[in-house]
Amino acid sequence: MFITPLLFTILVALISGIYSKSVELTFELPDSAVECFYQEIDQNTSATLEYQVITGGQYDVDVKIEGPNKQILYQQQKMQYDSHKFIAQQTGVYKACFSNEFSTFSHKLVYMEFNVGPEQPLPGIGEHATVLTQLETSAEEIHSALNKIIDQQTHHRLREAQGRKRAEDLNERVFWWSMGETLAIMCVALAQVMVLKNFFSDRPSLYNMK
Amino acid sequence: MILFNFASLVSFLLVLDVTTALYFHIAEGERKCFIEEIPDDTTVIVNYKVELYDPRSGGFMPSSPGIGMHVEVRDPNDRIVLSRVYSSEGMISFTSATPGEHVICMYSNSTSWFSGSQLRVHLDIQVGEHAVDYANVAQKDKLTELQLRIRQLLDQVHQITKEQSYQRHREERFRQTSESTNQRVLWWSLLQTGVLIGIGYWQMRHLKSFFEAKKLV
């Protein structure tokens, strides 16, 4: 009674090892730092790395994917966003590195998605032998369409976040800059008058008296 | 959300085998944070496993009982949702109450003998519909394949709807920021013109009276 679900889940766990591993992470990348992520990929499995810089500096980052033998599969410098799909030539640990080494003071926020292998099928659906009914095929189609919508939404969400963060930055900057400039104008005006008065006064200034 | 009771949470530990997940290295005591921007009422499941670097074999020990991970989750208002010390392997799940950026931070509860050592952290974060364990749902509710597929479709649609309403909320914030910038630029340029005219006038008058007093003009 208690054992059956347990066995079932263990079985599923074993099966799920073959299928998709998809991780979405948004992390902070401090200035002149390198952040690496590792993922074990089986031979002939396709993998996709998608990334985008959400905020910080010029919104760019250096990205590198290395295979198990240190061969470089993908390398880009100062990219804002991209996606790269590759098929693992051999089983092993693949490494994806994000580097902010070129930047000495801007700290960045980077989103990345590492997708490995095909999507994990629903339990029971993968293994049945009969032809799918029309309803099932439609359901399948709707599912993949919804997946596309979710992907698109994520993409849109990130672009929006980028725009929003930039607008917030701009708002802040406008505020401080205007404050600063108003102050500067007043100081300059006062200083101008002082200096001019000093030029024309016959008696020595306080500074020259001693 | 009531559908996923404790039993289904327990089975996650078995279903999601973390050792095949993505991993990264951190130094002991180092803090590592991840940000999840999610709508409200969304479940996030974090699975992790920590392995300690073993200097003798040059590899990573598959299990390190002495190591615990401190996990902290903060909501967009910077309130702590969850802050606890977990063992070297575990699963954390929380459901968001407010939409926005949730920050998940992890760091090891460093002990002096290990300090400076490297840790390997396997991490898997699943959000919303991805966090649902359909094997368990099918089992529990006795659903046929088609019913299960429809359940998944429904979950996805819910997720999309939630995301969309959150999107509207964020768009509103974005627009407010832009409008505020616009207002500030407008008022400041007017103010600055006023300040310039005022100061110019004051300078002229002040200097004029000064020169007259000095009998320079």
> How is A136-170 classified by DSSP, letter by letter?
HHHHHHHHHHHHHHHHHHHHHHHHHHHHHHHHHHH
Q: What is the dihedral of CA B6, B9, B14, B16, to 10 degrees?
A: 180
Nearest to A135, CA basis, from B153, B142, B158:
B153
Residue B30's Cα: distance from chain center in Å? 18
Instruction: Give the span between the Cα atoms of A150 and B155, in whole angstroms.
Output: 12
According to the model, what pLDDT value does residue A60 have?
A: 87
Residues 119-138 of B with CB under 8 A from A: 123-125, 127, 129-130, 134-136, 138
Pick from A15-19, A69-73, B153-157: least confident: A15-19
Token code pair at residue A55: 């905020």
Contact B192 A193 (CB under 8 A): no
| Inter-chain residue contact B152 with A122, CB threshold 8 Å | yes
pLDDT for the residue numbered A124: 63
- For residue A17, what pLDDT is reported? 43
End-to-end CA distance of chain B: 87
CB-nearest partner of B160 from A139, A149, A168:
A149
Considering Cα of B148, then A24, then A26, then B119, what sign does the dihedral take?
positive
CA dist A18 and A171 (Å) reads 49
In degrees, rounded to 5, the angle at the alpha carbon of residue A159 between the alpha carbons of residues A155 and A161 is 115
Q: What are B184-206's pLDDT values in tens digits?
A: 899 989 988 998 999 999 999 98
**B205 in contact with chain A, both atoms CB, cutoff 8 A:** no
Picking from B104, B162, B91, B101, the residue whose alpha carbon sits closest to that of residue B129 is B162
* Cβ atoms within 10 Å, residue B37: 21
The confidence score (pLDDT) of residue B133 equals 80
* C-alpha closest to that of A106 among A159, A160, A53: A53
**Which stretch of A93-97, A132-136, B95-99, B191-195 has the lowest confidence by average pLDDT?**
A132-136
The region of weakest confidence among A120-124, A154-158, B175-179 is A120-124
Which of A170-174, B1-5, B23-27, B127-131 comes out lowest in average pLDDT?
B1-5
- How much is the pLDDT for B129? 79
pLDDT confidence of residue B12: 43
**Among A176, A11, A106, which residue's Cα sits nearest to residue B14?**
A11
> How many residues would you count in chain A?
210
- Residues in chain B closer than 8 A to A197 (CB atoms): 207, 210
Q: Does A6 contact chain B (CB < 8 Å)?
A: yes
Indicate the average pLDDT of chain B: 81
pLDDT value for A207: 54
Q: Which fold has domain A21-117?
A: Jelly Rolls (2.60.120)
